[in-house]
Structure 1
Amino acid sequence: MRSAHAAMSFDADPRRVEAARRVTAAVLGRAGVRDRDVIGTVQLLVSEIVTNAIVHGNANSVSFQVTCDPAGDVTIEVDDHSSGAPEMREAGPDDEGGRGMQLVTYLARDWGRKGTCTWCTFTAGSG
């Protein structure tokens, strides 16, 4: 496995989530990750954290970066430039949203908030 990294900033627009997912797949590919399930899971984590930043952040822009190290550890960082922290919601069975951070908690090895940046880690393994 090789190191790979990408960073970008974009308007807080829900249409930008797909671009972050594509960048993530490219980074994982450059790092040597070939497992489609791993790539899909990391893309889901990106979708949830970026969407959360866009929908609930108070800024006009979002900064995003994804890094994969030689051990296969993936770090996702999303800075929404706002002081609020993500909240775990108890979504009802008929709610269409509100499960994003529950998914992150379940799928990520760890996650948290540092300053205005929400981050999570995932172990992609050796490829």
Structure 2
Amino acid sequence: MPQPTTRARRTGHPGYSETLPREPESAATARRLTDAAISCWGLEELAEDAALIVSELVANAVRHARRESIRVVVERTAVRTVRVAVADLSQARPEVREAGDGDEDGRGLFLVAAPAADWGTDERRWGKIVWADLEGRG
């Protein structure tokens, strides 16, 4: 299994990333990576929302992406801001859609947007990165 990597960021704190298989079980690994990063930064108040966001982003990538792997990235973009992102090799942009009362899916991006200060998709030549920013208090 690949080991997580770290990289220095302009805020002086490392970013955390890991390449994972494109399968539902990877959401648990992504949550652990996210929780470890947030704990290291002392931003535990963001842990619950970050776990929800990374779970939904991984689920979207598992369902809609191509190829066999995804990349989870957790970085501190400002002193009190954490970006949670999932990169995949599909260029299909995620679509926010309204789920009906009886629908079992279709709410993922609403769940991402609700706690996020901002979220979006960055297109790349090789695919895309879907990200959400969380802002700590204080």
TM score, norm. by length of structure 1: 0.89
| Partner residue, 1:79 | 87
Give unmatched runs, 5+ long, in structure 1. Answer: none
1:66 alignment partner, one of 59, 70, 74: 74
Q: Residues 79-115 of structure 1: CA distance to partner in whole angstroms, max 9, x if unpaired?
A: 1111101011211111111100011122211111111
Q: Is the 8 A contact 1:10 1:61 kept in 2?
A: yes
| Larger proportion of strand | 2
CA–CA separation in structure 2 for the residues paired with 1:101 and 1:61: 21
Q: Which SS does the other structure have where 1:14 is aligned?
A: coil
Decide whether the 8 Å contact of 1:4 with 1:30 is kept in 2.
no
More helix by proportion, 1 or 2? 1
Which residue of structure 2 lines up, in the alignment, with residue 16 of structure 1? 26
Separation in 1, partners of 2:85, 2:44:
22
- What is the Cα-based RMSD across aligned positions, in Å? 1.5
Number of equivalences: 123
Counterparts of residues 25-64 of structure 1 (less than 5 Å): 25-35=35-45, 38-64=46-72
Partners of 2:137 and 2:34 in 1: CA distance: 16
**How far has the Cα of 1:29 moved from its partner?**
0.4
* Secondary structure in 1 matching 2:25: helix
Give 3-state SS (helix, strand or coil) of 2:91's partner: coil
Instruction: Provide the TM-score with structure 2 as the length reference.
Output: 0.82
